[in-house]
Chains A and B, each alone.
Chain A
Amino acid sequence: MKQELVKNAVGRIVPTVVNSKEQTPYLGVGKYSPKGNKAAPPIASTKDYPADGNKVVKDLRTALEQVGLKDGMTLSTHHHFRNGDLVANQIFDVAAEMGVKNVTWFPSASFPCHAPLIKYLDNGVIHHIEGSMNGPLGEYTSRGKMTKGLAVLRSHGGRYQAIQDGEVHVDIAVIAAPTADPFGNCNGVNGPSACGSLFFALADSQYADKVIVVTDNLVPFPCVPWQIQGNYVDCVVVIDKIGDPAKIVSGTTEITKSPDRLLIAELTAKFVKQAGILKNGFSFQAGAGGTSLAFAIFLKDMMKEAGIKARFIRGGSNKYLVEMLEEGLTDYILDGQTFDLHGVRSMRENPRHVATSPFTSYNYHGKGNFGTMVDCVVLGATEVDVNFNANVVTHSDGLLLHGIGGWQNCLFSGCTILPIPSFRDRIPVLLDEVTTLCGPGELIDVIVTERGIAINPRRKDLLDAVKGSDLPIRPVEDIKIEVEGICGGKPARAKVKDRVVAAIKWVDGTLIDCVREVE
């Protein structure tokens, strides 16, 4: 199939059509204003559902038959168990048994635990995947093996946007729920498989034609709190085990021991302080991973020392953020997902630990979202370039190995900081041009490396704020040249073929870049 291509506003060449849908190339930050009405699910009538509220059916197959799974449908699952999800694989086992073909899988994210699904891509049960891919499925896609359709990667907010503006229509949503009642009310904070919030499934529950709740802890009505409301749910299935919550642990729950990463984390915290961001009532978000954890701990010490309290911290929550809440260093945790079981416990027990959804935090079609109100976010990246553009999905060899998560949505904070090593082994992270552009440089304010801090020249206010400090502020170009010297010259760009294998969406649904097949 010949692909028609067009250059977008950041100079990336992207397809005009993806999986038979017309695309709008990325136009720039805040430049795209879609018109019309939001999508809507079909009208349901209470009379068609049992008056006693009991929607329990005997097994997954019965449920899938009841909601009418057919060839070519779009089926969604969610990643609140991260690498511990046990439901998606079972759903496709059943779909294969039923002889269904060409299902588009629309997960909120996939993880290495979903590698068994590769056989269903090979044999046509799954047509293609639209969703973030961490690990083996990403590599499979990069090697050009997902032949029937293009992977489409969206941010958490972008997924909500795509459902809401009708770009993706979900036929069947399957929601794995740690606790549910027979009516379909469910939550993620109670039960033996408690994993935190179910809100990655919120849009699916509201907009899908049919909704199946799968649980391993059925309680009598009412299941409280009802993160997902049973009024959206068609049927409920009880199985032995829906997931392993021990595997929600993201990246690492241990603070990094690497002296270089600790140095980066410490510099980041010092920057936040010296730039004047650290003040009473401020807010921040730090992602998962050892460097972010270390950053939070350095920041915590500074807050204690200066007697400063945050108004809210955005999670990914973990033990360390929960400690800050419990020690009174923040009024609230507003939590998109829990990264360890301390986070789960706190979300269950502490009314100040609030589960947020991609709608409240990140959605483009809301009347505002929380993401733009955070004073400072600390995020990772696989690559950054001298124009402050950043990549989070591919490695420098071109392989697609990570999802976008909430990363793009977080870039809208008051100060977006990427603490990253300037190179890893011999792999330069600071480049002339990123392999895949996921975030435009105009939204990335500061890059903190072990060799110095580069501030985006657009942020004169930040440059002024740290003038005269003892922080190692350097032009980004300088650090890049130093790194090239260490690594032995400019790295060659990844060798890729012409064929596009994945599309990278911007938060508004436009196409910001694409990933090509790796040689």
Chain B
Amino acid sequence: MAISEAGRRGKEVRSDCWIAIEEKSSGGIAIGLKSKVASMYGASLKDLIESGLKFFGIANASVEFEDAGALPLTVMARLETAIRRLKPTETREFLPEMAPACQYTTQRERMRRSRLYLPGNEAKFMINSGLHKPDGVILDLEDSVHPAEKDSARVHVRNALRRIDFMGSERMVRINQGEMGLIDLDFIVPHNVHIILIPKCESPGEVKAVDAKIAEIKKKHKVTADVFLMPIVESALGAIKAYEIAVASPNVVALTIGLEDYTADIGTRRTNEGRESFWARSQVVNAARAAKVQPIDTVFSDVADMEGLRASVLEAKALGFEGKGCIHPRQIEVINDAFAPTEDEIKRAKAIVIAYNEAQAKGLGVVSLGSKMIDPPVVKRALRTVDLAVASGKLAENWRETK
């Protein structure tokens, strides 16, 4: 009879498990359990596997299970994946309970300075990612997942969205390109995802297709919260079409760029100076600003070079970007800190905000500081600077009262 497996085993595996299921015609359920946590959770692991088999209507099977300390969300994901592989027509979902800590919402206007990429099929990097306080986490279904494990990663990311407390970080998922990405959405959208990242985006049509599919799923599952979009420009064509992409849907809140693929596409290599990508990055900033969405920069990939990272963030900030991607939690603080306004910027912004508030209180249409008139966009930028300063811990939240 058919046999299928899912997950990983081996010496280097941590926080994951491997399961093989062979369906039989008789004899009930037999489970061979080898677990690092057998003494602590052996009984509950057996119960979980049995309840999963029952959920999918499997009454007779031989199960081999090897566990390197996988959390229940991962055990459930591997079990479901093995069963889906055994029965390709299976569509039921063996869902872990949605944790209260996974139910917070997001807003269109929020800081997106740092977003941490996390491989979607690996629990161990996700579990504590929120502790490092990135503005957003990206559970990745695309480049960090092996093509043969796409099915497994979807189920795993779905369970992570239902169980892992990301502690206020914006909950993002990077889907795959094209048709595969649309299937990804079925697994993701009903589970309080905040932003979908659309990779290698080259046309407004791709954004619209994703948007339409999201709308359809939201309707079916009665999801009312917003699901925003962040297209990623990763090619010459994408860079050319950046503005059209950014305005393709009102749900787009940010536009970002991926330089590894972009530089390959234009026939060159990525350098530290980044002269080869200056145009595309500037194009993304301008397209995003024109579309009134946030321009977000690429990742900095040398995790050991914190000085280089800081310089790179300051450069991105100077170009007009509001955020940067990261691939290691230690990069987060450096990024958030480098995006924070300087003391001079804060001082000036405070003065403008105070003048603005006074003008508002007096019912004046014109804001002035000393002898100078302040234009509305300057006021807006000052308000944003003050917010950023508060969020970066450089200004007390009640600074207005304390003066």
Contact = CB atoms under 8 A, between A and B. Distances in A.
A398 B71 contact: no
A221 to B, nearest CB: 51
Contacts of B38: 397
B71 A396 contact: no
Nearest to A260: B128
Contacts of A367: none
A488 interface: yes
B40 A491 contact: yes
Contact of A426 (B15, B99, B131): B15
A57 interface: no
Given A492-B41, A492-B43, A426 B329 contact: no
Contacts of B99: 485
B8 to A, nearest CB: 13
B37 A489 contact: no
B157 interface: no
B204 interface: no
A426 B132 contact: no
A486 B127 contact: yes
A18 interface: no
Given A426-B70, A451-B131, A398 B39 contact: yes
A427 B131 contact: no
Interface string A244-264: 000000000000000110110
Given A262-B330, A427-B69, A486-B71, A450 B131 contact: yes
A426 B37 contact: yes
B328 A425 contact: no
B39 A397 contact: yes
**A260, A396, A428, A450: most-surrounded residue (chain B CB, <10 A):** A260
A425 B128 contact: no
A375 to B, nearest CB: 28
A494 interface: yes
A260 B328 CA distance: 11
B44 interface: yes
Contacts of B44: 488-489
A427 B128 contact: no
A21 interface: no
Given A259-B329, A426-B15, A451-B131, A396 B39 contact: yes
A467 interface: no
Interface in A256-283: 259-260, 262-263
Contact of B132 (A263, A425, A487, A493): A263
A424 B69 contact: yes
B384 interface: no
**A262, A428, A451, A486: most-surrounded residue (chain B CB, <10 A):** A486
B289 interface: no
B285 interface: no
Given A262-B330, A263-B131, A425-B14, A491 B71 contact: no
Interface string B45-76: 00000000000000000000000111110000
**B40, B43, B127, B128: most-surrounded residue (chain A CB, <10 A):** B40
Nearest to A424: B69
B36 interface: yes
B42 interface: yes
Contacts of A425: 14-15, 36-37, 68-70, 124
Sorting the interface of chain B by its residue count into under 10, 10 to 19, 20 to 34 or 35 or more gives 20 to 34
A493 B43 CA distance: 12
Nearest to A490: B40
Given A451-B131, A487-B71, A426 B330 contact: no
A497 interface: no
Contacts of B72: 488
Contacts of A493: 39
Contacts, number: 65
A263 B133 CA distance: 11
B63 to A, nearest CB: 19
Contacts of B132: 259, 263
Interface string A417-440: 000000011111000000000000
Interface in A131-154: none
A495 interface: yes
A291 to B, nearest CB: 14
A493 B40 CA distance: 6
A77 to B, nearest CB: 32
Interface string A481-511: 0000111110111110000000000000000
A397 B35 CA distance: 11
Interface string A370-409: 0000000000000000000000000011100000000000
B256 to A, nearest CB: 23
Interface in A428-467: 428, 450-451
Contacts of A262: 330
A488 B128 CA distance: 15
**B15, B43, B44: most-surrounded residue (chain A CB, <10 A):** B44
A262 B39 CA distance: 29
A488 B41 CA distance: 8
A425 B70 CA distance: 7
Nearest to A396: B40
Interface in B62-98: 68-72
Nearest to A397: B39
Contacts of B69: 424-427
A34 B180 CA distance: 75
A177 B361 CA distance: 84
**B44, B124, B128: most-surrounded residue (chain A CB, <10 A):** B128
B299 to A, nearest CB: 16
B392 to A, nearest CB: 13
Contacts of A260: 128, 131
B39 A494 contact: yes
B71 A495 contact: no
Nearest to B303: A257
B39 A492 contact: yes
A362 B128 CA distance: 38
Contacts of B37: 425-427, 491
A427 B36 contact: yes
B369 to A, nearest CB: 33
Interface string B12-23: 001100000000
Nearest to B72: A488
B322 to A, nearest CB: 24
B42 A492 contact: yes
Interface in B1-39: 14-15, 36-39
Contact of A495 (B39, B127, B128, B328): B39
Given A425-B36, A426-B37, A488 B328 contact: no
Nearest to B39: A397
Contacts of A491: 37, 40-41
B73 to A, nearest CB: 9
A396 B131 CA distance: 25
Nearest to B48: A488
6 contacts: A426-B70, A426-B71, A427-B40, A450-B131, A491-B37, A492-B40
Nearest 9 CB-CB pairs, A to B?
A425-B69, A491-B40, A259-B329, A426-B69, A397-B39, A488-B72, A426-B37, A494-B39, A425-B15
Given A424-B69, A491-B37, 16 more contacts: A260-B128, A397-B39, A398-B39, A425-B68, A426-B15, A427-B36, A427-B69, A450-B128, A486-B71, A488-B71, A488-B72, A489-B44, A491-B41, A492-B43, A494-B39, A494-B40
